[in-house]
Amino acid sequence: MAIIELAALGADFTADPHPFYAKLRDAGPVHEVRGADGGRFWLVVGYEEARAALADPRLSKTMATVGGHEAVESIMGPHVLVLDPPDHTRLRKLVAPEFTTRRVEALRPRIQRIADELLDAAIPAGSGDLVDAFAFPLPIIVICELLGIPPGDRDSFRAWSNKILTPTGPDDAREGSLLLRAYLDDLIEDKRRSEPADDLLSTLLRTRAENGDRLSAEELRASAYLLLIAGHETTVNLISNATRSLLTHPAQLAALRADFGLLDATIEEALRYEGPVETSTLRFTLEPVTIGDTVVPEGDKVLVSLAAANRDQAVFPAPDTFDIRRSEQPGRSRSHVAFGHGIHFCLGAPLARLEARIALRTLLERCPDLALDTTAGPYEWLPGLLLRGVRALPVRW
């Protein structure tokens, strides 16, 4: 089978990859692909194969196990997303208690106040960019307050995050990583010297497991990096993608407005239909691994397309239909993989869901005439395969 050249697909693939993924699924669940940067990897597009790959211990998250080197992780240090057991197990055990459903639910009143304050400022203008006015600042304020990051540093962090996650130049990711590393090192040292505070970074500084284990300075920095990046970028796209999906499906929007009891189902369908993360991060085969009917050689890279898996028609009937009542219909309710699967399932999923629920309900209740601004021109889609979303979502309030 010929290697698929992603660079040849152009802007149409970036704007709407789903028809392309559907053709790939029809041809098979796994394909050899060359990315825009010339790198070769295996792309998993089938749902069952995606779940299996995401949970397969023969697919390592640590590039060092196959003799590789990744700039961002080598700069930031080890965090749970790039580690295998037992190191992954140890780090996740230290961090996970801060993200239980109970602790996340305690943030609800503050998240609601932030949502209301943002709309207080945005609505009087009559129109604007939903990303800049609402979808971005809500999660960034939440995660920065949670971690104890000063408000004045948020704009700098946004610039560094964009360089790392959606680079437009060959040195962007490294440059953004170096700047963010220096900032986090200084911030952690300040908190180490200060009186104990109740923010998450200060808590993680003091955290000890029952056996006395604690995060090293490097692990704390890397964990802060992951929580910052994953704690806001994905939720920005979840809020904006869900809003865009509703506004382009008037019947679904009307059904939700008529019954906010459908809100949770709407969030789950938005995650399936147009989730914020298009593909997983890389995995590396520790031995030859059979995925579907394809044998992936030892030492090769594997990328799981969460977006493709979530529209697999063998699992989700009418997969290209946005249907907030999908879970009510016999045979149509299966778990999406928008947050991953297995031991690397997203640690912040409860927080992302809570923020999205509050954001959508507040937006729809306070903006009864909310609509897309059709005079604003075409969307600018985020580049690359990692994130799925638009840089701006012009709306009329």
Q: Quick: pLDDT tens for 104-156.
A: 999 999 999 999 999 999 999 999 999 999 999 999 999 988 888 888 888 88
CA-based nearest residue to 354, from 154, 143, 210: 143
Are 347 and 143 within 8 A, CB to CB? no
Q: Average the pLDDT over each of 131-135, 296-300, 328-332, 370-374 and give the range with the smallest value.
A: 328-332
Dihedral sign (CA 130, 337, 92, 356): positive
- DSSP assignment, residue 134? I
Within 10 A of 296 (CB to CB), how many other CB atoms are there? 24
- pLDDT given at position 69: 43
Span 254-280, mean pLDDT? 97
- Per-residue pLDDT tens over the stretch 33-50: 998 778 899 999 999 999
Are 350 and 96 within 8 A, CB to CB? no
CA-based nearest residue to 381, from 14, 129, 72, 4: 14
Beta bridge pairs of residue 34: 5, 40
User: 4-396 falls under which CATH superfamily?
Assistant: Cytochrome P450 (1.10.630.10)
Within 10 A of 8 (CB to CB), how many other CB atoms are there? 9
- Amino acid identity of residue 267, one-letter, is I
**In the chain, what are the domain boundaries?**
4-396
**Chain centroid to CA 97: how far?**
20
